[in-house]
Amino acid sequence: MADLPRILPTEITPERVYERRREFLKGSLALALYGTLPAHAALPAWRKTAWGRDESPNSWEEITTYNNFYEFGTGKDDPAKNAGSLKTRPWTVSVEGECLKPRAWDIDALVKAFPLEERIYRLRCVEGWSMVIPWLGFPLAGLIRQAQPTGKAKYVEFATLHDPKQMPGQRWPVLDWPYVEGLRLDEAMHPLTMLVVGLYGKELPNQNGAPIRLVVPWKYGFKSAKSIVRIRFVEKQPATAWPRVLPREYGFYSNVNPAVDHPRWSQARERRIGEFFKRKTEMFNGYGEQVAGLYAGMDLKRYF
């Protein structure tokens, strides 16, 4: 009897954790590995945050080879194949429009001007798949405050680079180039909204929207404009890329909403890349606690 090993209750892995051991291994391995990779010279120091620490991120491979970035082709593997032609230096982001302090930011100055942090966010694509991604960036609110928007600034418009030489997909009129996205000023100021310059602690790969992109985790992925060259404060709701070509299928708000289906397919469930079974899609992609207040009293079926 005395030889029996004594197992403390604290040493027993809870069943829920045990059942997720593969996910856990995958996630922690990925996290551990990227720490050992040589850091890219261009990125200053950054800090980790609590955002998404309970999630297991998708692999670097998954995040960088399965992309929607029509500027490089409409296939999921096109961006990874074709985005090499994009030159991300020198790069200027023009902050302009209804603000007191417009400024043409050099990308390297911009990256140094705001403290970088890592946040692990869920990303839900309007097509019905999702990923978990460790982004590196800073809240957009900081940049907006510096620009000092005027009372006329009700919306913020984001424009992607328009250069068919660097972006071969723009040689075909699939979308009305350049890609334009937009947010209401309060959405843009929300602490969850980020400008992203990195991924897994490294500089953002071209196919993911280098050198700088938007990430709005409670909205469908296409709202998060990539390779941004212009941020403009405007009074009227911007005419954004997807509603412009298919107004019946895509709205300006495009909040993740399992109760509002795409006219051609259901939004109730999603396939998390790397998982076999589909999972239920959560209202506001699970960020309702933080953002539901932005839409109080709004009919989200109408403002889809």
Closer of 60 and 233 to other proteins (Cβ): 60
Instruction: State which of residues 19, 77, 176, 186 lies at the interface with other proteins (CB under 8 A).
Output: 77
Size of the site for other proteins (CB under 8 A): 25
26 binds other proteins (CB under 8 A): no
Strand-pairing partners, residue 228, are 160
Stretch that binds other proteins, among 22-30, 32-40, 201-209, 274-282 (CB under 8 A): 274-282
Task: State the residue for tokens 């000092």.
Answer: 148
Q: Which of 29, 21, 31 is nearest to 134 (CA)?
A: 31
* Alpha helices per DSSP H over the chain: 15-19, 21-36, 60-65, 78-82, 107-113, 140-147, 185-189, 241-245, 288-291
Closer of 33 and 245 to other proteins (Cβ): 245
Instruction: State which of residues 23, 62, 117, 282 lies at the interface with other proteins (CB under 8 A).
Output: 62
Q: Restricting to residues 108-127, name those near other proteins by CB under 8 A.
A: 127
177 binds other proteins (CB under 8 A): no
Q: Restricting to residues 232-271, name those near other proteins by CB under 8 A.
A: 245-246, 261, 264-266, 271
Give the C-alpha separation, 165 to 85, whole Å: 8
Q: Restricting to residues 199-238, name those near other proteins by CB under 8 A.
A: none
Least Å from the CB of residue 199 to other proteins: 15
Closer of 13 and 266 to other proteins (Cβ): 266
Instruction: State which of residues 74, 92, 148, 150 lies at the interface with other proteins (CB under 8 A).
Output: 74
**Amino acid occupying residue 124:** R
Least Å from the CB of residue 181 to other proteins: 16
For the chain, first and last CA: distance in Å? 66
Three-point CA angle 92, 95, 100, nearest 5°: 145
Radius of gyration of the chain measured on its C-alpha atoms: 20
